[in-house]
Amino acid sequence: MVTVETQGLSGGIAMLWMYKEEAILNSFSKNHIDMRIKNKSGNEYRLTGVFGEPDRSKRQETWSMLRTLAMNNSLPWCLIGDFNNMTSQNDKAGGRPYPQRLIQGFREVLNDCNLVDMELRGYPYTWERGAGTSEWIEVRLDRAIVNIPFLDVFADATLTNLEISTSDHCPILLELQKIIKDVHIKNFRFENAWLREPMCHQIVEEVWAGNTNKTLFEKLEKCSSILSTWGQEITGSFKKRIHNCKRILKAMKGRRDSNSISVSREAQKKLSEVYVQQEVFWRQRSKQLWLREGDNNSKFFHSSVKKRRAINKICSLKNSQDQLVDWNTGLENVVTDYFSELFTRSHTEWQ
């Protein structure tokens, strides 16, 4: 870990990594940490954490720092953090127009250093002030800027606004490659969280009462189909539902009219219900038999399942030439060749 302490109530940068061999520190200051990174695939690149000068009269210091860091660079390069700079008026909503000279100055720096601003997925703004009031201002201050070699090496890299935060800044997530998701064949599974809903009992009773001429298997199939569709509203997409509730609460923050208070209370009620459903959902999957009913540590349930899945997941293997390959570079062939060789008969003699 390398850290730069905060300056009063602003600033502060930290770089953390898993293995010592992954990163080498190039330089640091109160406004940056510059690292050379080598990932598991053997790709070497440069990663710089940045905190731009918040004082507009000193913005030139940030621009000079970027130009200095760009000198004699031959590696794929990414700079990420709170730049306290905008590239256009579209980066701001509310308040007065941003000084055009600052926008132009930052764009000149990007051009001089041959850097491009990565597209931000999700909500377009990363910082706010005065939420829910007539003086509400939102700005995109946090970003990742990269050079062309970086885009060539990491063609699938994405930058996402995670939006939800206790800070006035939203966290942003840079992913260098696409995450290959496991393909699961969805089979019906009854969720214990459904038992908290009266509608669950009603669905089962109606299916059984309305299909008296059907076999037991046909009734079960019909019931599971209806429950699966209905259950998506109860145990489907917890993250999205929590996000929607928090967005509503965030928009209503600071408002005192009766309608806004009513909307906030309803959103808070829904948020509490989702948290309870999520807890029951992950408890059912955690399979930790020693946990007692009523334990509210839903993060533990979630991590138990995620950890088990991570342990069982194969991301990369070494081939016959002792080279590490993943699903993008022929891992399926390594698996196929291994089992083909394992089950191929050779020089077998029977007595």
Mind listing the pLDDT tens digit for each residue in 228-276? 888 777 766 677 777 777 777 777 666 667 777 777 788 788 778 777 7
| Orientation of helix 198-209 relative to helix 216-235, angle to 10° | 160
Q: How far apart are CA 13 and CA 169, in angstroms?
A: 14
Query: Quick count: other Cβ atoms within 10 Å of Cβ 82?
Result: 21
| Confidence (pLDDT) at 104 | 93
| Confidence (pLDDT) at 290 | 42
Average pLDDT value over all residues in the chain = 81
β-pair type (44-51, 77-82): parallel
Taking the domains of the chain in order of start, what are their residue ranges? 2-175, 184-234, 237-310, 314-351
| Confidence (pLDDT) at 349 | 63
Under CATH, which number does the domain 2-175 receive? 3.60.10.10
Q: 74 CB contacts (<8 Å, ≥6 apart)?
A: none
* Burial class (CB within 10 angstroms; exposed 0-12, middle 13-18, buried 19+) of 145: buried
Q: How far apart are CA 93 and CA 235, in angstroms?
A: 35
**Window from 4-13, 118-127, 177-186, 324-333 with minimum mean pLDDT:** 177-186
Say yes or no to pLDDT of 40 above 60.
yes
pLDDT bracket for residue 347 (50, 70, 90): low
Say yes or no to pLDDT of 48 above 90.
yes
Q: 267 CB contacts (<8 Å, ≥6 apart)?
A: 245, 248, 249, 252
Say yes or no to pLDDT of 322 above 90.
no
In single-letter form, the type of residue at position 133 comes to: T
Q: How far apart are CA 160 and CA 20, in angstroms?
A: 27
Contact by Cβ (8 Å): 46, 37 = yes
**Per-residue pLDDT tens digits for 68-84:** 999 988 899 999 999 99
